[in-house]
Structure 1
């Protein structure tokens, strides 16, 4: 059992120890108690451990919201100060170090102080307490040989983290983090990693290129992965082929089954009005499907042709390319935990072999070259009339101030690496750039050798730091803006964009012209986000007196996340992640100063609004074609703070008439508000719930109601394909 419950020795109550999350907290009572085991099924929601005590009050040492349901699970009320009459109740207290549920038969009152939350029963009696680990960290590490057949046994245990096999596992809080995997000579499983018998089997040939793409399915279905010649998914009495088009079919199974679980779960704990259920007309008995065992339910899901479901499926959030190499096995639990679509490309196109479209012009698959759809200049420069200069050959514009050109160039292209010798190119010779195949998802990550264009270079050490970071309890967020070049001080004003938040406190500092030693001290300091503006070349980060090369220096990096808005900053950013950072945004080539300044300001506002690194860069690329010169290195899911609304949103506005607007609100998963979370939009014409990710479409919104919506929170808003912000939009 992952949770231990023991009586307190020096006070009345119990202590609760969660061995997965390594947390311990106390629950107080109004008299000494002797906790006795109680059936876990007594609680409305799934729990890992359950006890009963006799008491007249329950108190926890933190301010929380108390949610009250009737005996049949109907939600009655929630808040921090109210009373309820006699009855049978299921009560949830959130937040707490573990999920905490109570069940009892009595009237009660809820009260809070500035430090505690207390429930007083009208009549003392038996109270059932149920606890479920938040399970954001793995229960343990599986050691395994890395040959494909041995690795199948490890992948078969990823689903041990699931808190339930019901459709509710589509909620992120009921999935849990998969156990870690590490190479070893013998197969060993820690005690707390216990297999789940779901009845689902995934059969694939014992090869990495077949095994890696099914890791998210193995996790979500708690499936046994076994060797076989014909790729397929099996249950009792049914079989679903994964050929032809193995990777595409695997992605379809994940998307379709997850979507249908979100519809079926409305028959369970949360019988909400779900928009996707109303629009997905399949004629299925969702109540019957909800009650089926996982394997039977999945078999019936897959009997529905994908074409019948596809029009209602949201754009999936993340695709991860994992090269079919045994060195990448340790990344599999992280990839599966994100419910990523997984591909395992055996070959990849080097940039110098992709038909001449190399690092000099970093366009993406969804890039529209029309100047009308991008307000900033493309990498190719801008002619006097604002059009792309076809004679630039994809190089930097002749008169544009650049953040990394070579010294000795007599044109006005002063750069962010101004003393570099003329024989230094935009790409260091030792760097192998690759161009992954395009994706249909919002985000794209790459696991393996090479520096990917238009994808997050994901690294194992960064993902491990995600686990070490745990829950952010600090009350203030530190942001440091460093500008090491006087000609770039305009971007230094970006500091004004951080901290524009209610209820979130920021410590923001701006420093100029740091020396090498001062830069070392800065990088070693405990900073949540570093926004660096200056010169970088293959000698390192330029300082007031010399260069600081992070690839050579032995530094203990304290900076959690960063934007290195300088030319050719990839290797310096990679070194930051290797030495202690979680992740950051870096450049792959020279960047012109004007669009780099604009991008820096966009990223600042997005990070301040709770976006993670990958999604922030995705939004910036919609506005700036030069955004394709940037990639994320490390953990692309890194955030500086949480969005005020939980999920993050991007709004698209169009004006079909003079007195109304049409809105597309794209809601994206972020941090604890992962795929499957419920969301909605605060408009009178939209009362349904949606599951994340989604696009909420509302037509003909009056100006007054639209302005009320935009005033709720600062979010990016695209109007006529141009980026603005909700606190700047003027509707008239």
Structure 2
């Protein structure tokens, strides 16, 4: 079982540990309890584990919304402060690190404090608690030949993961992970993968450059993809052309339909006050749209010109460039599952002039650095003009470039040769950018199949605490070692934080093999590898056992060392493409520490850091950019931007990003005086006037995990 439920030792209540998502949280009661196993049938919604306890109250250490349904499942009310009379109830509490449901027979009241949510029963008695992991796994793997027409049949089954074709599928928990795809000589579909009849067809020429950009649409619309000449979407009696501007129109359809689903779903099981619904300029019969079948509903959505909808749309989260090669077919379910905008560039611009980025010795097939920049590294680093030093440099003898794989990595998945050249993808207008294919992309996450498969691994963990290892291998960089103080500043998550200095080669090998959730490495890297106390450890040449899950290699030109970590077992990490000066590297390291501690994933954390520090352009993400080391206390991850308007009034912008289980379409609200509306993620919430006292109270109560910018 992925979820363990145990009595608390130092308080009254239980500890809930989800071994799949690596989360732990506490549920408090008003008396000591002895949890008894209970069947799943106790709850209206499905659960993975359930217990019953005798108590008069249930309390969790976070501000949440409590949703109450009658015994037959009818939604009665939701909020954070209300009372209910005697009756039989199913209650959901959200957000929580797992889905959390209660079932009991009693009147009750809901109340919140500055940092807790509490349910008090009028009559103490038996309360059934149910928990469901937020983890999603594919139902199986489709085997298919990789020619475009055969692949269309596999892509047509991505939507089999949808748990509904209603607008509620815009909630991430009702979408499910698409089935995996792997190459094979014959087309085979597991029994558990069954097509969903949505009534929608996507017609594209049988070419990878047309097929790849529609995978997210095929998944979200449960659409059949068929070959044809003119790219288009077909429904019951309607046709929508996808040209001219095929990729742009495909992206527009995804964004428009998702937005309108989020508005329409307020007519269904979740009739909440949604800010985007209240402020839309669209004049539509939302109730009628909700009742229409999927194909008819989409046809009416697309009757609305995109130009009328575009001003209302939030900035989309992710664009993924997937090169139109058959070698990339296994990445398609992961890309579609993230609802990424997909492009499939046939050509790519090599980086001949790095425009000051300084991509070091990766600029071409020869790993060697230009002779003018080749320097031996003294023990205290390389000095720049003005006395600043960088965290590495090329040695006088360029080492042989050889990428090897560890035992845990597939021999076929995604390793980028050390001979790969830098490429410059076209700019994107989304928050995040990923790249699938040959080459080392500038300003984009180099996504690899091994890393995405590790996202699905549900191995048991031996402990519920989050482990962070900070390694500082240079005396002059000890200031960044203070980042250890920034990890573990959380109430609900337990951290084990260790700081180690001047590790030897063998100690570094042992550290990399340890079961660590996040490695924060501070030191030097050059073409000899990672600097250790007495020599270097080159991860591309050494056969290593890697246990580290995620990492920041805050050193010069650390791309290949980080890439080697991913290929040998890590999920993903942040690395550098060039030499980095020590002072800005220290600043960026501290920003990343705060964001990772707050639940940000690697891609979003680096996106935010780049906005704060211009030298952030020298950093990139390898592997699974969606990797996190813990969940945000507030569910979504938040960046607050606060500006002073007057002596007692401030202007606030809260930017909320999808993250982990709280993906696109999740509901969120900002818990601040006067703000009661719900928003769907991703969103920016603008509050023009916040009284100083309210702002101070909200920030002091730490109801958000965020990067705070004050102007």
Q: TM-score, normalised by structure 2?
A: 0.80
SS of equivalent residue, structure 2 residue 645? strand
Q: How does 1:468-617 map to 2 (within 5 A)?
A: 468-469=457-458, 474-617=463-606
CA distance in 2 between partners of 1:493 and 1:414 (Å) = 19
SS of equivalent residue, structure 2 residue 478? helix
Q: How does 1:138-287 map to 2 (within 5 A)?
A: 138-287=138-287
Q: 1:13-36 CA distances to partner (integer Å, 9 max, x unpaired)?
A: xxxxxxx99xxxx9956xxx9x99
CA distance in 1 between partners of 2:396 and 2:155 (Å) = 50
Q: 1:265-298 CA distances to partner (integer Å, 9 max, x unpaired)?
A: 0001110000000111211011110111111100
Q: Shift in Å at residue 92 of structure 1? A: 5.3
2:395 to 403, 407, 420: 420
CA shift in 2, pair 1:236/1:661, >3 Å:
same
Does residue 52 of structure 2 align to residue 59 of structure 1? Answer: yes
CA distance in 2 between partners of 1:693 and 1:331 (Å) = 24
Count how many residue pairs are aligned between Structure 1 and Structure 2. 632
Gaps of 5+ in 2: 1-19, 22-34, 61-65, 111-118, 361-371, 402-416
Q: 1:658-687 CA distances to partner (integer Å, 9 max, x unpaired)?
A: 331111111101111110000111122321
CA distance in 2 between partners of 1:678 and 1:411 (Å) = 50
Gaps of 5+ in 1: 1-19, 50-56, 112-116, 363-394, 721-732
Q: 1:107-128 CA distances to partner (integer Å, 9 max, x unpaired)?
A: 68999xxxxx99999999xxx9
**Are the equivalent residues in 1 in contact too, given 2:380–2:474 (CA < 8 A)?**
no
Q: 1:675-700 CA distances to partner (integer Å, 9 max, x unpaired)?
A: 00001111223210000000000002
Q: How does 1:689-700 map to 2 (within 5 A)?
A: 689-700=678-689
CA distance in 1 between partners of 2:452 and 2:481 (Å) = 30
CA distance in 2 between partners of 1:473 and 1:286 (Å) = 49
Q: Shift in Å at residue 714 of structure 1? A: 4.3
**Are the equivalent residues in 1 in contact too, given 2:509–2:544 (CA < 8 A)?**
yes
Structure 1 counterpart of 2:75: 74
Q: Shift in Å at residue 503 of structure 1? A: 1.9
Structure 2 counterpart of 1:716: 707
Q: How does 1:333-344 map to 2 (within 5 A)?
A: 333-344=333-344
Q: 1:478-526 CA distances to partner (integer Å, 9 max, x unpaired)?
A: 1111111111111111111111112221111111111100000000000
CA shift in 2, pair 1:533/1:131, >3 Å:
closer
Structure 1 counterpart of 2:635: 646
1:360 to 345, 358, 373: 358
Q: Shift in Å at residue 715 of structure 1? A: 1.7
CA shift in 2, pair 1:174/1:516, >3 Å:
same
Q: 1:245-265 CA distances to partner (integer Å, 9 max, x unpaired)?
A: 000001100100000000000
CA shift in 2, pair 1:134/1:222, >3 Å:
farther
CA distance in 2 between partners of 1:118 and 1:658 (Å) = 41
**Are the equivalent residues in 1 in contact too, given 2:665–2:682 (CA < 8 A)?**
yes
CA distance in 1 between partners of 2:597 and 2:124 (Å) = 46
CA shift in 2, pair 1:191/1:238, >3 Å:
same
**Are the equivalent residues in 1 in contact too, given 2:380–2:475 (CA < 8 A)?**
no
**Are the equivalent residues in 2 in contact too, given 1:585–1:632 (CA < 8 A)?**
yes
**Are the equivalent residues in 2 in contact too, given 1:64–1:93 (CA < 8 A)?**
no
CA distance in 1 between partners of 2:380 and 2:324 (Å) = 37
CA distance in 1 between partners of 2:476 and 2:509 (Å) = 23
**Are the equivalent residues in 2 in contact too, given 1:320–1:444 (CA < 8 A)?**
yes
Does residue 302 of structure 2 align to residue 313 of structure 1? Answer: no
SS of equivalent residue, structure 1 residue 181? strand
SS of equivalent residue, structure 2 residue 590? helix
CA distance in 1 between partners of 2:496 and 2:106 (Å) = 46
**Are the equivalent residues in 2 in contact too, given 1:27–1:58 (CA < 8 A)?**
yes
CA distance in 1 between partners of 2:129 and 2:534 (Å) = 62
Q: Shift in Å at residue 532 of structure 1? A: 0.4
**Are the equivalent residues in 1 in contact too, given 2:638–2:705 (CA < 8 A)?**
no
CA distance in 2 between partners of 1:118 and 1:717 (Å) = 35
CA distance in 2 between partners of 1:560 and 1:233 (Å) = 41
CA shift in 2, pair 1:611/1:135, >3 Å:
closer
CA distance in 2 between partners of 1:131 and 1:490 (Å) = 42
Does residue 432 of structure 2 align to residue 443 of structure 1? Answer: yes
CA shift in 2, pair 1:624/1:518, >3 Å:
same
Does residue 422 of structure 2 align to residue 433 of structure 1? Answer: yes
CA distance in 2 between partners of 1:410 and 1:134 (Å) = 51
**Are the equivalent residues in 2 in contact too, given 1:134–1:176 (CA < 8 A)?**
no
Q: 1:193-239 CA distances to partner (integer Å, 9 max, x unpaired)?
A: 11100001111111111111111111100110111101111101011
Structure 1 counterpart of 2:363: none
Structure 1 counterpart of 2:647: 658
Q: TM-score, normalised by structure 1?
A: 0.78
CA distance in 2 between partners of 1:48 and 1:674 (Å) = 20
